[in-house]
Amino acid sequence: MSKRNWPSSFAHPRFWPAWLAIGAMRVGAWLPWRFKLAIGRGLGLLAWWAVPRRRHIVDTNLRLCFPELSDAQRDKLALDTFKANGIGILETATGWCRDPRHLRHRVTYKGRHHLEQAQARGKGVLVVGIHFSTLDLGGALHSLYFDSDAVYRPHNNPLFDRFMTQARKDIFGETIDRRDLRGMVRRLKEGHIVWYSPDQDFGRDVSVFAPLFGVEAATIRLTAKIARMTGAPVVPLMFHRNPDNRTYTIECHPPLDDFPSGDEVSDATQVNAFIEQAISKHPEQYMWLHRRFKTRPEGEPKLYPR
């Protein structure tokens, strides 16, 4: 990552933990691969034992989405999820702090022609990504093949937010705050690819309920709204670490069919069907640590602790 000028206010002691995290990520990005895997798994195990609230969230999500699994199978998947997300911290550090070209030999890109054909329509492309633990490394490696913009959620810590945002600016053409609908629409109308992840719970006001693994999930309406406003095709994209833990696959799918349809629930259901398909391939790599089913239909009880 290129050199930056940091405001003097970031020298305040309250930012020291963030500086420590940034320094650790910069060091971690340059570690040998086997060390990254070992440290990542260790971080995941530490979080498993030290953060019971997150463990409860993961367990709740897995019980809802995989009721067919035995308790022992779910426990193993939960532990594997923590390990994968621990490795994801080192993968994120690598994506933010190193030139992604050093990993090009580790990437297989499937279905690249789908994105090329969608881009040739000249209306921009809304790429639907998913919150796998590999997300930020995936964005960096995807930039080796296509120039694109990224929609992001600002971090609560202003120092870490600046570090994160500037790292992403080295990867993407523009970084767009998820609340900046006008910015997304503008970039799409200019013909750009915009990478966007609609698989989190943003609350009742901006969502409809649509099934995800058979569970009603608050699903953001914005995906269909942006497609309707711009005419941009919506292209699903998966990115995952392969079972060898050394290589990666980017997999691009054809644009969503008859999207938007004009039916908000139908559109949200189609988006969730792809998300479910992607998760099912590598369920341990999904970020089950977030409260995906936080917003419930009227009359249903809450599922997570505060």
Which residues on neighbouring strands pair with residue 251, listed in sequence order?
Answer: 110, 238
Model confidence, pTM: 0.93
DSSP 196-264: E---S---GGGEEEEEETTEEEEEESHHHHHHHHH---EEEEEEEE-TTSS-EEEEE-PPPTT-S-S-H
Q: What are the residues facing 207 on neighbouring strands?
A: 220
- Read off the tokens for 259: 């999207």
Rg (CA), the chain: 19
First and final C-alpha spacing in the chain: 37
Asked whether 151 and 178 are in contact (CB, 8 A), the reply is yes
The answer to whether the beta carbons of residues 132 and 270 sit under 8 Å apart is no
CA angle 144/150/151 to nearest 5° reads 165
Domain ranges for the chain, please list them.
8-285
What does each of the 306 residues of the chain score in pLDDT, given as a tens digit? 444 677 888 998 999 999 999 999 999 999 999 999 999 999 999 999 999 999 999 999 999 999 999 999 999 999 999 999 999 999 999 999 999 999 999 999 999 999 999 999 999 999 999 999 999 999 999 999 999 999 999 999 999 999 999 999 999 989 999 999 999 999 999 999 999 999 999 999 999 999 999 999 999 999 999 999 999 999 999 999 999 999 999 999 999 999 999 999 999 999 999 999 999 999 999 999 999 999 999 999 999 976
| Nearest residue to 250 (alpha-carbon basis) of 125, 141, 170, 150 | 141
